[in-house]
Amino acid sequence: MRGYAGKFLEVDLSTEKMKDVNFDEAILRQYIGGRGLATRILWDRLGDHWEKVDPLGPENILLLFTGPLTGFFPGAKLCVSGKSPQSNGIVGSTVAGEFPVEIKCSGYDGLIVTGKASHPVYVSVTDSKAEIRDASHIWGKEAKETLKILTEEGRRELRERNPRYGEWKEPAAIYIGPAGENKVRVSAVTAKWTHGAGYGGYGAVMGSKNLKAVIAKGTGPLPEVADLEKVSTLIDEISRIYYRADEWRRWGTGAAGYDVGARLSSEPVKNWQDEWHDEKSFGVDKFEERVWIKRYWGDFGCPTTCLKIAMPKAGPFKGAITDNPDYENQAYVGTNLGLFTPEENVYLMALLDDLGLCGIQGGNVLGFAGELFQRGILTKGDLDGIELKWGDAEAFASLALMIARREGIGDVLAEGTYRAALKIGEIKKMDLLPYAVVEKGIAIGAHGIRSGEDYTAEAGLMSFACSVQGGDHTSIAYLPLTHGNSELNVILHDSGVYCWFNVMEDEALDLIWDFFEAVTGWRIGPEEWYETTARRILHLQRAALLLGGPDLRWDPKVHDDNPPRFYEPLPSGPYAGKTTDRAKFEEYKKEYYEAVGWDERGRPKSEELKRLGLKDLDRKLRNALR
């Protein structure tokens, strides 16, 4: 097999036993790697009693997977998966960095982590050797300190192992902050201080397993490919496309911070009470001019380097460090909380990074709490004295700390917006779900559909409602299914495991089948992908989402819908008064079900599952979802 290291490392944290696991070529061709293969493994191992598996219990399985294209396709990523403590389904959540490359160079395609350690540990992988190590000295540490200690320890250990080698380059690491340790459902798996796999809540899964970090150093090459010359040429071709993509390079997604709010009117403002603002103080130019201290920052092989490092050099928030922030975090940790200056945005995002909270999920729950305070539902007393006013960065920072530590009301908000809405609603005897802007337990990315101008709305209003990854703005339901934004294409990228941004341009996407063939030797091609391979993965994810449990389950009739707020009229801006047309949404939903082979109840059809060789899934669904 080409493009693969050829084996996976399975670590059982309960017994402290490790073994190599192999998958045969037929399985890999069908499920590729990353999100696809993770889905298959989760189904094989947990599918028969999925509803009973507690995502934060020892039975859940954490998957840290690369894909065949990782390291080859420009812009390396890692795919993190497992049963999601947000949706109770399966999410393929990606994070950029060198960790996946180090894993592949150490001879593994990924890690399968089971069980629960008796005390805090981290796992170290070096050239096909792995160890479970005590992590009590880093447990409780925030992100920057954690990475510093892991870097020092990792290098020291490599030096001791082979002092003659020369300078040892640091091992790469993924890790969690205090939020993950405390099983906060809106926590991320973090890399390089600021990068996070946040969708899905896998930071909490690591925390539930007492797993603080995984570090990796591989001294070997990336695996052999089918056609090296072709791979090399394709790397150059893709890179040249992005060398010319000046807005992406210069501003990253940050250009949207003003644009999406002012022009498209689809940016969350004050917990989505509005989606429009004309606050030019929040333009990316202000970030660039005032707070960016590094203009081009990227991960392994990336031609775009859309990341930037930000640090205010003056004022009350001097010295706070984060990246850009990217558009999502500008929105969720900015406008969504009524914050409209780069300095406040950087300050709060840096804190979320350090605590290991996801900017999107964390920003969503902070905004939810902000609205409850605005409406007098949560009082200063409920919030341990915090006056949670829109635009008060310090107040939101105090609440973020309470969430990460699960203190006071933070313990409830740590469950994520949906669960918190149910719980606080129960206490206050009110229906708080109208203020929860989430889709199946997962906060909606910072892209509203009401104005009809956002890319998520082009898809036809069912983009989040019918996605198998809930609110994930990178993986939306989209028609036609072959379109670059379609979930079926995202499954390809999340399974080959590389950065989706470097394949967003049509001329890059056109080269993707050639890239897969040059690396793996398999001509997958659009027909095989859209008709069979991607469908299998989609249906498995859909089934896991519908089975859900143990605490929440989703009924398509009720929950394949937009959050209530998306049916309120936009209060201001160029699209004031506009809202989601429910009749049209129902039409699009029906059309989407039909296109992907789901019946009118939103379940994958029996004949579709049989056609794809998924009879066991069909049986399970028919028994479980009568």
Partner 1 sequence: MSQKKPVWIARDYTRCSGCRKCEIACSLFHEKRIWPEASRIRVFMLVPGAEVPHFCAQCHDYPCIESCPVEALSVSEETEAVLVDKEKCTGCALCIDACPGKIPHLHPTENYALICDLCGGDPQCARVCGEGRWNALWVAKKPKSHSYRLYAKRPEEVTRELVINLYGEKGKGMI
CA distance 243 to 112: 36
Binding mask 103-142 for partner 1 (x = CB under 8 A): --x-------------------------------------
Cβ closest to partner 1, residue 320 vs residue 609? 320
CA distance 145 to 153: 12
Q: Stretches 24-32, 177-185, 190-198, 543-551: which one binds partner 1 (CB under 8 A)?
A: 190-198
User: Residue 255: which residues within 8 A CB-CB, separation 6 or more?
Assistant: 247, 284, 327
Helix (H, G, I), strand (E, B) or coil at 467: coil
User: Residue 541: which residues within 8 A CB-CB, separation 6 or more?
Assistant: 39, 89, 90, 468, 469
Q: Stretches 296-304, 489-497, 573-581, 605-613: which one binds partner 1 (CB under 8 A)?
A: 296-304
Q: Stretches 59-67, 239-247, 428-436, 592-600: which one binds partner 1 (CB under 8 A)?
A: 239-247
Give the one residue of 222, 468, 504, 614 binding partner 1; rule: CB under 8 A: 222
Cβ closest to partner 1, residue 105 vs residue 357? 105
Q: Is 253 in the site for partner 1 (CB under 8 A)?
A: no
Q: Is 296 in the site for partner 1 (CB under 8 A)?
A: yes
Cβ closest to partner 1, residue 444 vs residue 499? 499
Q: How far is the CB of 571 from partner 1 (least distance, A)?
A: 40
Stretch 62-91 residues interacting with partner 1 (CB under 8 A): 71-72
Q: Is 561 in the site for partner 1 (CB under 8 A)?
A: no
- Count Cβ atoms below 10 Å from residue 600 Cβ, excluding itself: 11
Give the one residue of 52, 156, 169, 557 binding partner 1; rule: CB under 8 A: 169
Q: How far is the CB of 178 from partner 1 (least distance, A)?
A: 19
* Residue 140 tokens, joined: 């409780």
Helix (H, G, I), strand (E, B) or coil at 347: helix
Q: Is 314 in the site for partner 1 (CB under 8 A)?
A: no
For residues 66 and 8, the answer to whether their CB atoms sit within 8 Å is no
Cβ closest to partner 1, residue 293 vs residue 576? 293
- Count Cβ atoms below 10 Å from residue 565 Cβ, excluding itself: 22
Give the one residue of 305, 374, 572, 606 binding partner 1; rule: CB under 8 A: 305
Angle at 542 between CA 539 and CA 548, to 5 degrees: 140
Stretch 318-347 residues interacting with partner 1 (CB under 8 A): 319, 321
Cβ closest to partner 1, residue 144 vs residue 483? 144
Q: Is 177 in the site for partner 1 (CB under 8 A)?
A: no
CA distance 180 to 201: 8
Integer Rg of the chain from CA = 23
Cβ closest to partner 1, residue 243 vs residue 610? 243
Give the one residue of 5, 11, 64, 147 binding partner 1; rule: CB under 8 A: 147
DSSP class per residue in 152-221? HHHHHHHHHH-GGG-SPPPPEEEE--HHHHTT-TTB-EEETTTEEE-TT-HHHHHHHTTEEEEEEE--SP
Q: Stretches 41-49, 192-200, 472-480, 489-497: which one binds partner 1 (CB under 8 A)?
A: 192-200
For residues 565 and 268, the answer to whether their CB atoms sit within 8 Å is no
Total residues binding partner 1 (CB under 8 A): 46
Q: Is 228 in the site for partner 1 (CB under 8 A)?
A: yes
CA distance 73 to 300: 10
Q: Is 239 in the site for partner 1 (CB under 8 A)?
A: yes
Cβ closest to partner 1, residue 219 vs residue 579? 219
Q: Stretches 2-10, 22-30, 222-230, 485-493: which one binds partner 1 (CB under 8 A)?
A: 222-230
For residues 210 and 11, the answer to whether their CB atoms sit within 8 Å is no
- Count Cβ atoms below 10 Å from residue 61 Cβ, excluding itself: 21
For residues 457 and 494, the answer to whether their CB atoms sit within 8 Å is no
Q: How far is the CB of 363 from partner 1 (least distance, A)?
A: 22
Indicate the burial class of 615 (C-beta count within 10 angstroms; 0-12, 13-18, 19 or more): exposed
Q: What are the helix (H) ranges across 293-409?
A: 327-332, 342-355, 359-374, 393-405
Q: Is 313 in the site for partner 1 (CB under 8 A)?
A: yes
Q: Is 373 in the site for partner 1 (CB under 8 A)?
A: no
Give the one residue of 240, 557, 590, 615 binding partner 1; rule: CB under 8 A: 240
Question: Contact residues for partner 1 (CB under 8 A)?
Answer: 71-72, 98, 101, 105, 144, 147-148, 151, 164-167, 169-170, 192-194, 218-222, 224, 228, 232, 235, 239-240, 243, 293-294, 296-303, 305, 309, 311, 313, 319, 321
